[in-house]
Amino acid sequence: MALLAVTLTVDVVCPFSYLGCSRLFEALVMEEITPAELVWSVEPATSHRMPVASAPNTLDLARGGARYGDPLVLERRVAQLLGRPGVAVRSGVSSQRAHVLLTHAPDPDLLRSLFKAHFEEGRDVSSMGELCEIAADHGIPGERVIELLENPERVADVLLRAARYADLQTPRIRICGSSPFVGVQTVDAYRRALVHGRRA
User: Which range is least confidently modeled, 14-23, 71-80, 107-116, 164-173?
Assistant: 71-80
**CA-based radius of gyration for the chain:** 16
Q: Please determine, for residue 1, whether its predicted confidence score (pLDDT) is greater than 60.
A: no
> What integer pLDDT is reported at residue 147 of this predicted model?
93
Q: Please determine, for residue 85, whether its predicted confidence score (pLDDT) is greater than 80.
A: no
Which tens digit of pLDDT belongs to each residue from 104-143? 887 889 999 999 999 889 899 999 999 999 999 999 999 9
Domains of the chain plus CATH, in order, are 4-199 (3.40.30.10)
Q: Which residue type, as a one-letter code, is found at position 145? A: V
Which tens digit of pLDDT belongs to each residue from 27-65? 999 999 887 888 888 888 764 443 333 333 333 333 333
Name 173's Cβ contacts closer than 8 Å, sequence gap at least 6. 6, 7, 8, 9, 20, 21, 24, 180, 181, 185, 190
